[in-house]
Amino acid sequence: MSDALDFLPEFLLLATFVTGILWLLDRYRWRPRREAAAAELEARTPPPQRESDGYRQAREALLREPAAMEWGGSFFPVLAVVLVLRSFVVEPFVIPSGSMIPTLEVGDYILVNKFTYGLRLPVVRTEILDLGEPARGDVMVFFPPHLDRYFIKRVIGLPGDHIRYADKRLTVNGEAVPLDYLGSLPPENPQVAVFEETLGGVEHRVWVEPRRGELSFEHVVPAGHYFMMGDNRDRSQDSRYWGDVPERNIVGRAFAIWMHKEPGLSWPSFERVGTIR
């Protein structure tokens, strides 16, 4: 999955830093100066004149925030809260491709838990607190090893796992992953076979195109890496093509769909709202 807002983490961090500097300058430098100037004006103005419009206007002018603070520093608290929530708690994404059909459809708006697998610093991705590891069957957002863009796939292989994929069947550590046939789509001219797959105790549906060629392989996942595949098995560019995902490239676990909107001019729908499995 690519995200049209790839630049947002860097932009949000920069905006928070700049507005934070403005807020600190105003809090500890500009505001005390304004207040001191207003106090000086009050001290040299006779009490009867302090009720005049001219005095009030002059005092308000001295206390007025500069434009840089009004339009910049005032946003710092909001940006700081957004940065913390987005970096360490929950981040929203929109699905732009069909590689995870039928679990996730194009136009699904999802939420990603950023602390399930540990807390990481934004942009640099350095882990500062280990809270857990990805589990087989999780739907995970990450950066692939060859691109600096968000992707979303399912965790198939953990470090040390032996993965085999042949004849449209997945085998993990010598055991075939349970696969139950549910039917074919579309009924009048079947192109896609729909299966219920159980991976790591997680039941989910996958699409397979029997007439389409496949990339068969065997692979052992190296330490500190994860093997990822899309649920739309024959329409997914994943670890079969570009390799394993290093641990430091993990973003978080996708856990919910909160809205769906078809591309283009269309109204949002909430029929697909629910947990992701």
Residues annotated as catalytic are 99, 153
Rg of the chain taking only CA atoms, in angstroms: 27
Strand ranges, E, within 167-244: 169-172, 175-176, 179-185, 192-199, 202-208, 217-220, 225-229
Reduced to 3 states (helix: H, G, I; strand: E, B; else coil), residue 258 is strand
Cis previous bond, 186, omega within 30: yes
- H-helix or E-strand containing 46? none
Count of alpha carbons within 13 angstroms of residue 41, beta-carbon side = 18
- Give me 56's structure tokens: 């009030």
Give the Cβ contact number of residue 269 at 10 Å. Answer: 12
